[in-house]
């Protein structure tokens, strides 16, 4: 069936300025790490992308290695763009990354100029695009000079293959160094993509402050701890869940009785706020003013709709925040 974007799609989404840049990103963005690969049902992936756009989600996040197999999420997304989104390119912010293993030999991994620029060319081919909006270095490379990696990002912009550049999972110190090198080259560091959720809170120890100070946007990933921060695992492991899938990054052994007990207690707090746990977990991230957008992953349209409804209640009382902190601190090692 032909797709016609919902006319009122921009009315209910919140758009936040990305750092001190000129660009706004939706408070909720969609990531294509899981559920969009060659192993997944194409029509389901397509329905999720269409629904996302109708809900005002303008930002779609990819990486060279998303699939499985690696590269297939970009191929599928490129196909969906061609089928359904002709004429919408200027309403979309599409990102990709390079930094993890992609092809054999010494040039298909980490942070060299050779790898990053070759990978970006490959991504553009798979996506069927002339440029991406954001090109990221996916993870720090302890051996490659930072000047070389940042130089490759700068070149991507100068070649017209990326509009903005970003870094992912860099420490506050490396972020500062990367931003300085980029600034000297005349290409600002636009955005940082770190992991952040109720179970993984490292960005509170310096990264958020650094990003705010430097005027770099922040888009956090894995807000639901890959689905743990929902009600789905409270009564066992459903067959269609990420933890049940062989290729899923969430493993059965991550779902410990201690974690489930914590999730049950968090769920009670969410219920008192008249939200689901997933919605509370997303709202809890957006409470930081340094956070531009929360990058969710979904396997079903209804999950996406439920997650976007988190925006209906973003405020927390001090009592709620302390109750959440207390619970997370007392169950830290479970």
Ligand X SMILES: NC(=O)c1ccc[n+]([C@@H]2O[C@H](COP(=O)([O-])OP(=O)(O)OC[C@H]3O[C@@H](n4cnc5c(N)ncnc54)[C@H](OP(=O)(O)O)[C@@H]3O)[C@@H](O)[C@H]2O)c1
Region binding ligand X by CB under 6 A among candidate stretches 15-23, 30-38, 251-259, 285-293: 30-38
Shortest distance (Å) from residue 251 CB to ligand X? 12
Residue closest to 134 by CA, chosen among 222, 221, 63 = 63
Shortest distance (Å) from residue 232 CB to ligand X? 5
Under a CB-based contact definition with an 8 Å cutoff, are residues 28 and 53 in contact?
Answer: no
Cα–Cα distance list, 197 to 22, 29, 133, 284, 324 (Å): 27, 15, 26, 8, 12
Q: Other C-beta atoms within 10 Å of 235: how many? A: 8
Task: Give 3-state DSSP helix, strand, coil % of the chain, rounded to 5.
Answer: 45, 15, 45
Q: Can you tell me whether residue 192 is helix, strand or coil? A: strand
Q: Which residues pair with 29 in a beta bridge?
A: 295
Residue closest to 155 by CA, chosen among 96, 113, 122, 124 = 113
- Residue 75 CA to chain centroid, in angstroms? 18
**CB contact set of 270 (below 8 Å; sequence gap of 6+):** 276, 277, 279, 280
Nearer to ligand X (CB atom), residue 28 or residue 129? 28
- Hunting for tokens 């990819």 — which residue is that? 62
CA 221 – CA 164 distance, rounded (Å):
19
Region binding ligand X by CB under 6 A among candidate stretches 84-92, 177-185, 201-209, 299-307: 299-307
Nearer to ligand X (CB atom), residue 175 or residue 222? 222
Region binding ligand X by CB under 6 A among candidate stretches 1-9, 33-41, 108-116, 147-155: 33-41
Q: Which tokens in the block code for residue 69? A: 């197999």
- Asked if residue 292 binds ligand X (CB under 6 A), the reply is no
Nearer to ligand X (CB atom), residue 158 or residue 236? 236
Q: Can you tell me whether residue 113 is helix, strand or coil? A: helix
Nearer to ligand X (CB atom), residue 67 or residue 227? 227
Q: Which tokens in the block code for residue 201? A: 């809170």
- Asked if residue 78 binds ligand X (CB under 6 A), the reply is no
- Asked if residue 111 binds ligand X (CB under 6 A), the reply is no
Please give the torsion angle defined by the CA atoms of residues 183, 184, 185 and 188, in that order, rounded to the nearest 10 degrees. 0
Shortest distance (Å) from residue 283 CB to ligand X? 13
Nearer to ligand X (CB atom), residue 302 or residue 326? 302
Instruction: Give the x/- contact pattern for ligand X in 171-210, rule: CB under 6 A.
Output: ----------------------x-----------------
Nearer to ligand X (CB atom), residue 61 or residue 109? 61
Alpha helices in 100-215 (DSSP H): 113-127, 146-158, 172-185, 207-214
- Asked if residue 108 binds ligand X (CB under 6 A), the reply is no
- Asked if residue 222 binds ligand X (CB under 6 A), the reply is yes
- 102, 242, 275, 280: residue in contact with ligand X (rule CB under 6 A): 242
- Asked if residue 127 binds ligand X (CB under 6 A), the reply is no
DSSP assigned state of 164: E
- 102, 191, 307, 324: residue in contact with ligand X (rule CB under 6 A): 307
Region binding ligand X by CB under 6 A among candidate stretches 144-152, 155-163, 198-206, 216-224: 216-224
- 58, 169, 175, 187: residue in contact with ligand X (rule CB under 6 A): 169
Nearer to ligand X (CB atom), residue 210 or residue 299? 299
CA 217 – CA 293 distance, rounded (Å):
9
- Asked if residue 140 binds ligand X (CB under 6 A), the reply is no
Under a CB-based contact definition with an 8 Å cutoff, are residues 224 and 281 in contact?
Answer: yes
Nearer to ligand X (CB atom), residue 182 or residue 243? 243
- Asked if residue 153 binds ligand X (CB under 6 A), the reply is no
Q: Which residues bind ligand X (CB under 6 A)?
A: 31-35, 61, 138, 168-169, 193, 221-227, 230, 232, 241-242, 278, 295-299, 303, 306-307
């Amino acid at each position: 069936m032909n797709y016609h974007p919902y006319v009122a799609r921009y009315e209910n989404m919140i758009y936040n300025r990305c750092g001190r840049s000129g660009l706004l990103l939706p408070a909720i963005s969609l990531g294509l790490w899981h559920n969009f690969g060659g192993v997944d049902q194409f029509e389901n992936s397509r329905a999720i992308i269409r629904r996302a756009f109708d809900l005002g989600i303008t930002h779609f996040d990819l990486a060279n290695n998303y699939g499985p197999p690696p590269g297939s999420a970009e191929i599928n997304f490129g196909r969906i763009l061609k089928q359904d989104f002709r004429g919408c390119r200027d309403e979309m912010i599409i990102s990709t990354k390079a930094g993890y293993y992609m092809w054999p030999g010494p040039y298909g991994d980490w942070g060299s100029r050779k790898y990053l620029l070759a990978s970006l060319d490959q991504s553009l081919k798979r996506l069927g695009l002339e440029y991406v909006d954001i090109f990221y270095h996916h993870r720090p490379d302890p051996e490659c000079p930072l000047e070389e990696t940042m130089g490759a990002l700068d070149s991507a912009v100068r070649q017209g293959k990326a509009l903005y550049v970003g870094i992912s999972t860099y420490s506050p110190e490396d972020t500062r160094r990367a931003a300085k090198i980029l600034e000297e080259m005349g290409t600002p560091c636009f955005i940082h993509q770190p992991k952040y959720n109720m179970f993984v809170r490292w960005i509170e120890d310096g990264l958020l402050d650094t990003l705010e100070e430097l005027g770099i946007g922040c888009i956090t990933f894995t807000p639901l701890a890959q689905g743990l921060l929902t009600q789905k695992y409270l009564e066992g492991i459903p067959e269609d869940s990420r933890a049940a899938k062989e290729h899923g990054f969430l493993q059965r052994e991550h779902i410990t009785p201690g974690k489930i007990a914590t999730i049950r207690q968090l769920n009670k707090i969410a219920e008192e706020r008249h939200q689901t746990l997933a919605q509370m977990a997303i709202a809890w991230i957006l409470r930081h003013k340094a956070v531009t957008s929360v990058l969710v992953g979904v396997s079903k349209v209804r999950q996406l709709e439920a997650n976007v409804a988190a925006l209906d209640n973003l405020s927390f009382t001090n009592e709620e925040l302390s109750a959440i902190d207390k619970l997370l601190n007392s169950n830290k090692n479970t």
